[in-house]
Structure 1
């Protein structure tokens, strides 16, 4: 990792008109950063909390599922939405609808998604390779949002793979086209979520992009990781993804760290059970009990990571079907069990690196302006 001279006494992070203090952003995660999870995280600390990825096409066609996903809590401000698109016209129309309807206060654009159903259509992490098209789409989004004062930002990866890095061009283009900030997930699309994030590239992007904030993303699993990223890269803020899975109180630890306070003690098993129950309540309020319980199941292994919860209770929790059943199962746990040291580390999907699925001939010409096939309606990734 590169070491640069950096101080934590940096000017407050601003994204457009919004002060982000502490300089912490919740990364949009498919199936995770819905209204309930964002509200739960916000109860522990300030910052900026981004909803799941929304496709521009689904906004334009007013897809019912997408409109439900775009819901925000009444107290949530600024309302931050991530938008994905592959052509300037659709992106501009989607942004006009969003700002015209007053649906969001900040729009982040997605150029980092590595999943095949997105990249095979030239979207996500594939698109910044087409430099002119990338600039046209981002310029269209910025122009559509400008009359309302809604800032547009861009989040991308190092590139497609180690032979096709795109992040420095993407940063320069985003800066030129009026983006309010950029964020770099310091992995290639081929890495997916495997291996180690290369913070060296965050430092290089910060050296390249001077007039707007640069945020770093990748391998922030503790408050100490966030402070280390700022020291080593000089970035202006951090984006937290998998590190908060099953651990929304991480945002309280981050807020304390950036304020120079001691971190609050992590919860014992009883405290974790209380947080999990609160998560369940919020999901029920959002989607009703049946859907909420199905959604909650995937969070169980993250919440109980490292705790002495037996195989049988884990299986039952992973099949929970109602709030009353959840209450019974949580009551059976040893609430005095302390937070385990090995639960502080990596969590969430890791996966294996692999070849990125791209449209035929995609890598032939980076200056090709041909718009890819229209994106699918799959908001959320």
Structure 2
């Protein structure tokens, strides 16, 4: 594995210093307290809670509030916030800082999910630069008394004909954001194709605040290659760690200049699976925790020789005892499938038409009292 000649400098977000410049991307239904703890146990970095809606938080939605769970040893609390209304986003930021003691707030301007973009949110919102500025100003202002840095994550643009990332970087810098993360794909691409690292380098050259690169970081060597190619201050890792929380150990080693790579045998993977299910059970209760764990089974076992029947039964597990019985049928000595290294994880999908509010692309300005209802949903847990 390629390493840096010298250790990478820490990532500085205002007063917050992240010694290893690696960020776990917030992923809906994935980066809950259990998964963040599992990843933190592997290596250093910044681990972001799954996205919550500002309106849900402000209006006291029970699901949204339940997602804001932090283990006692989670010393740095990081949350991604979604919103389309500056007032709601500002108040939600204040609540996160004041009531939940968060140390970092990230704003989502990159989600490609149609239910989000059709309301002008996520990756659609940076097209309206004045609205983007109002939201960032509200969040940065609300976080300032608590010395909490606010960052934003975005995409290249809506599609190749409607790019927004350079304008978004300018607005982020002017409004006092501590950093901007760029996923090198458009909303139209979703997760298909290849990430455009050149756009990340363009943004690095255009702004003075730290830029974080996101997209196609499947191995530690990809992270190093991205930094070399773009000059980014750090990387954001999303789908690359699905079923592989030990990727953060590899990243920590690589950024420290150590030449190691984790290739666990199946027995070691089984131990991590059991730990993950246990953490989810502690968080949600055993039955719900095991049900939530089911989605992770295919990712953990990707490339291993586990038979279809066993995989099917694991995907129906509802207790830790049942999980233990099934995991015992796996061969602990089976070697890691090296052919899976460097390959995409999770669904890639295909390019698609972006669903937007009527007339959204007509100009770059935004009427704060439009005829269309662009209000975000109250309940969190959707989007990405």
* Aligned residue runs from structure 1 range 184-223, under 5 A: 184-210=182-208, 212-223=209-220
Shift, 1:217, TM fit = 0.2
Show the counterpart of 1:376. 377
Instruction: Decide which of 96, 99, 107 is 1:98's aligned counterpart.
Output: 96
Partners of 1:175 and 1:283 in 2: how far apart? Answer: 38
Unaligned runs of 5+ in 2: none
Shift, 1:10, TM fit = 5.1
Judged with a 3 Å threshold, the aligned counterparts in structure 2 of structure 1 residues 265 and 11 are, in CA distance, closer, same or farther, namely: closer
Partners of 2:37 and 2:355 in 1: how far apart? Answer: 35
Matched, 1:309 2:306: yes
Show the counterpart of 2:244. 247
Partners of 1:229 and 1:343 in 2: how far apart? Answer: 20
Instruction: Decide which of 35, 38, 44 is 2:42's aligned counterpart.
Output: 44
Residues 172-227 of structure 1 show CA distances to partners (whole Å, capped at 9, x for unaligned) of: 100000000110011000000011000000000000012x1100000000000000
Partners of 1:73 and 1:214 in 2: how far apart? Answer: 29
Show the counterpart of 2:335. 338
Instruction: Decide which of 110, 113, 119 is 1:115's aligned counterpart.
Output: 113
* Aligned residue runs from structure 1 range 1-381, under 5 A: 11-210=9-208, 212-344=209-341, 345-370=343-368, 373-380=374-381, 381=383
Q: Is the 8 A contact 2:119 2:376 kept in 1?
A: yes
Shift, 1:9, TM fit = 5.5
Judged with a 3 Å threshold, the aligned counterparts in structure 2 of structure 1 residues 342 and 378 are, in CA distance, closer, same or farther, namely: farther
Judged with a 3 Å threshold, the aligned counterparts in structure 2 of structure 1 residues 359 and 7 are, in CA distance, closer, same or farther, namely: farther
Partners of 2:183 and 2:261 in 1: how far apart? Answer: 28
Shift, 1:20, TM fit = 1.1
Residues 220-262 of structure 1 show CA distances to partners (whole Å, capped at 9, x for unaligned) of: 0000000000000000000000000000000000001111112
SS in structure 2 at match of 1:29: coil
Of residues 344-353 and 58-67 in structure 1, the stretch that sits farther from structure 2 once superposed is 344-353
Q: Is the 8 A contact 1:7 1:231 kept in 2?
A: no
Shift, 1:300, TM fit = 0.6
Of residues 339-348 and 175-184 in structure 1, the stretch that sits farther from structure 2 once superposed is 339-348
Partners of 1:154 and 1:319 in 2: how far apart? Answer: 37
Shift, 1:343, TM fit = 2.3
Unaligned runs of 5+ in 1: 1-5
Q: Which 4+ stretches in 1 moved above 3 angstroms?
A: 6-11
Partners of 1:156 and 1:369 in 2: how far apart? Answer: 22
Partners of 2:379 and 2:5 in 1: how far apart? Answer: 41
Q: What is the count of residue pairs matched by the alignment? A: 375
Shift, 1:264, TM fit = 4.2
Q: Is the 8 A contact 1:8 1:231 kept in 2?
A: no
TM-score by length of 1: 0.96
Residues 272-300 of structure 1 show CA distances to partners (whole Å, capped at 9, x for unaligned) of: 00000000000000000111111111101
SS in structure 2 at match of 1:49: strand
Shift, 1:349, TM fit = 1.6
Partners of 1:133 and 1:360 in 2: how far apart? Answer: 17
Residues 72-114 of structure 1 show CA distances to partners (whole Å, capped at 9, x for unaligned) of: 1111121000001101111111112221213411100000000
